[in-house]
Structure 1
Amino acid sequence: MDTPYTSAIRPHFGWNKLRPWKLKMSMYIQSIESRAWQRVFDGWTPPMRDGDVPGPKPRSQWTTDENTAAIYNAKALNAMFTSVDINMFNLIEIQASGNTFGTYFRVTTFGESHDGGVACVIDGCPPGIPLPEADLQVDLDRRRPGQSRITTPRKETDTCKISSGTVDGLTTGSPINIEVPNIDQRGHDYSGRSSARETIGRVAAGGAAKKILKLHSGTEIFAYVSQVHNVVLPEGLVDHDTVTLDQIESNIVRRPNPEYAEKMITAIDTVKVRDDSIEGVVTCIARNVPRGLCYPVFNKLEAELGKAVLSLPGTKGFEFGKRFAGTFFMTGREHNVQFHMDESVRIRTKTNRSGGIQGGMSNEEIIIMRIAFKPTTTISRRQNTVSRDKQEMELIARGRHDPCVPRAVPMVESMVALVVVDQLMAQDA
């Protein structure tokens, strides 16, 4: 739709350079353009003469100064618009409300904890990927509430249904819609997007991302609980080269070490009977990640991973590689990574203190990170607060919540998978 601003300036704009983009995002780009030209005339041109009617005038009535200013500003906007690519417009559009993640493999989640259900739409998944509902259900069951005595008592089956984007169990390349109904909702407790139930869409999409990564490059992503309150798993007790999903899922705390698993379960049981909660740490690894993923300046791989996992509810910290220990207690000689040729004549590192990332990019070693989760805020104990009318009061929170972090394990895996598959597509798609 032309406006008085766009029709007057279009000859100076070089609009034909945006034709390929306009075919895909015509309405959105026209909106951007219209607002841009509105700013040209509202704030950038010289003041009109006394007695002139405010607002746009036909170009034939412009003064010399107004014409010169308009041409100057049109050239400036032309440079601005033609120097960006379609991804910038995508980012402006899809991140406005914060419900979409990713650039090439894009995931939008919707629904609330106590509505009819939650769901996600995956856009950018390649065609021909085997993706039956059963494959996604594995991680959804790991995330499901009510699965053990140390999780929320809310009872949900979290059974997923793929309603578009697949035929006979294979992806078609079109958007994939995955839906999960709420069964045990209680609207009087609370309702909102910030509930951990929103992560169902992330975990479902993460299941698809894991499938692509495994098929494309053999990449595997595993997470486990490495700390609960003051029970800390010593480094080295878990072999990151060989740890398996079965080992992680062998106990309800998702700790691939029976001795420390029992200590963690005891710690959680102790605070649960007191209607309290405790903090925890989840360690996540990514094996067989292709080298060279991500970029060395603003979009470093560790920055993308940090943003992804810190968007999960309750997260308060992110570390990778040797973490803070590598900055506090090591010299450069001790921390530096040394390279060598392995038996397959491949360049490898003798140590992995950098956590699989160097210069902002993956180096083909195992990527190692730790994510800290605070104690669950909503507990069934009296706490001091202030009401909306600024009156001090006591609050007893309602609702059913986890006393600690074991259910966060598949959530972390999923966000890491979404980052890695997105960067893989940026490199290879």
Structure 2
Amino acid sequence: MSGSTLGTLFRVTNFGESHGPAIGCVIDGCPPGMALNEADIQRELDRRRPGTSRHVTQRNEPDAVEILSGVYEGRTTGTPIALLIRNQDQRSKDYGDILRTFRPGHADYAYWHKYGLRDPRGGGRSSARLTAPTVAAGAVARKWLKECFGVQLRACMTQLGTVEIPFESWEHVPNNPFFAPIADVRHLEDYMDALRKAHDSCGARLRVQASGVPVGLGEPLYDRLDADIAHAMMGLNAVKGVEIGAGFASVAQRGSEHGDALTPAGFASNHAGGVLGGISTGQDIEVSLAIKPTSSILTPRPSIDIDGQPVEVVTKGRHDPCVGIRAAPIAEALLALVVMDHALRHRAQCADVAHAVPPIAGARQV
């Protein structure tokens, strides 16, 4: 009821606050017998970790994960997996000035009106710090998907503020702090340096892809695969838009162009983004995210206090000038969580479905 759990059969409950003693999650529904240790999860957390470049928040968190339950002698037991990440570099004093005021663009005002109180330290529950447990849970899901179906998940930045980023190769993504699919990112670094000097922030656009997804995942009408993907992605801080496949570009397309022709060799195109009728087609699932500018900036802005009086707000502390820079591993994790949940749901309902004719080339069934 509180909105902290994602999934149906593979369920992840997220807990903690930005400046609390720890954050974490509980994973319920993971099949037993899968080899799992902290290193499997830490690898993904390190990709999201703060303080990895001058272009992101300098909060220095090791994000070391601890497996508290659900694993025995290196294998999942089928019981709930509890993951804990201790907070070690909080500076709550940075937020003393905003205890009675509301930061423009932030969740302060909405949280205060909903709950009657709020934790101002780093945004409390609304902080992007809470994406670390999501990445940890996603590491479990992506390992299972890789071993069962060969699913590969990846994401890259396609736009930074006003700068569009052309796609060159996925090979470039791990080699720069922007998760950009290009070899030379000097112009992106210059853009961020100027932004930081101006005490401002910017948004970003990301591309997220899952390849090797089996045919048949999704539960029409209301638990369609694309609907659940959009639901999960909108749970990521600062996301203001989600597109599947051609997305809003499909408005300008004609039916003769948008419809993905089927051939014995496979689909001729993928404007649908790997989902038709809410069910996976076996093609790559393609998702695009629009991420808004960071709300916490040093530029003075007008606001009000809890008494409704006008004030001027300056947000101090250590903040990402573009939260989209570290969003790629988070988006991958969310996509992994949704795909795994639907893979388990498909097996539960349709495991006995048999086809005399196999899927078209390049696709596989659960």
Alignment partner of 1:114: what SS? coil
Unmatched runs of 5 consecutive residues or more in structure 1: 1-95, 343-347
Other-structure match for 1:393:
311
Map of 1:19-418 to 2, 5 A cutoff?
96-188=1-93, 189=95, 190-191=120-121, 192-234=124-166, 237-238=167-168, 243=170, 247-259=172-184, 261-327=185-251, 329-342=252-265, 348-404=266-322, 405-418=324-337
Deviation string, structure 1 residues 14-39 (Cα, Å, up to 9, x no partner): xxxxxxxxxxxxxxxxxxxxxxxxxx
Alignment partner of 1:293: what SS? coil
Q: CA deviation at 1:262?
A: 2.6
* Aligned residue type for 1:412: A
Q: CA deviation at 1:154?
A: 0.5
Alignment partner of 1:426: what SS? helix
Contact 1:382–1:395 (CA under 8 A) maintained in structure 2: yes
Alignment partner of 2:126: what SS? coil
Contact 1:250–1:256 (CA under 8 A) maintained in structure 2: no
Alignment partner of 1:164: what SS? coil
Q: CA deviation at 1:238?
A: 4.2
Alignment partner of 1:284: what SS? strand
Q: What CA distance in whole angstroms lies between the structure 1 residues aligned with 2:36 and 2:129?
A: 22
Q: Which has the larger radius of gyration?
A: 1
Deviation string, structure 1 residues 311-349 (Cα, Å, up to 9, x no partner): 11111111111121111x21111111110012xxxxx21
Larger relative contact order, structure 1 or 2 (CA cutoff 8 Å, min sep 6): 2
Aligned length: 320
Unmatched runs of 5 consecutive residues or more in structure 2: 96-119, 349-366
Alignment partner of 1:385: what SS? strand
Q: What CA distance in whole angstroms lies between the structure 1 residues aligned with 2:321 and 2:145?
A: 33
Q: Runs of 4+ in structure 1 displaced over 3 angstroms?
A: none
* Aligned residue type for 1:130: A
Q: What CA distance in whole angstroms lies between the structure 2 residues aligned with 1:287 and 1:169?
A: 28
Deviation string, structure 1 residues 361-413 (Cα, Å, up to 9, x no partner): 11001111110100000001211001111111101112211011111111111
Contact 1:281–1:371 (CA under 8 A) maintained in structure 2: yes
Q: CA deviation at 1:186?
A: 2.0
Alignment partner of 1:109: what SS? strand
Q: What CA distance in whole angstroms lies between the structure 1 residues aligned with 2:8 and 2:237?
A: 22
Map of 1:3-14 to 2, 5 A cutoff?
none
Q: Percent identity?
A: 40
Q: What CA distance in whole angstroms lies between the structure 1 residues aligned with 2:259 and 2:40?
A: 41
Please give the TM-score of this superposition, normalised by the length of structure 2: 0.85
Deviation string, structure 1 residues 189-241 (Cα, Å, up to 9, x no partner): 2331110111111110000000010011001110111100111123xx345xx
Alignment partner of 2:298: what SS? coil
Alignment partner of 2:130: what SS? helix
Please give the TM-score of this superposition, normalised by the length of structure 1: 0.73
Deviation string, structure 1 residues 115-137 (Cα, Å, up to 9, x no partner): 11101111101111111100100
Q: What CA distance in whole angstroms lies between the structure 2 residues aligned with 1:170 and 1:399?
A: 41
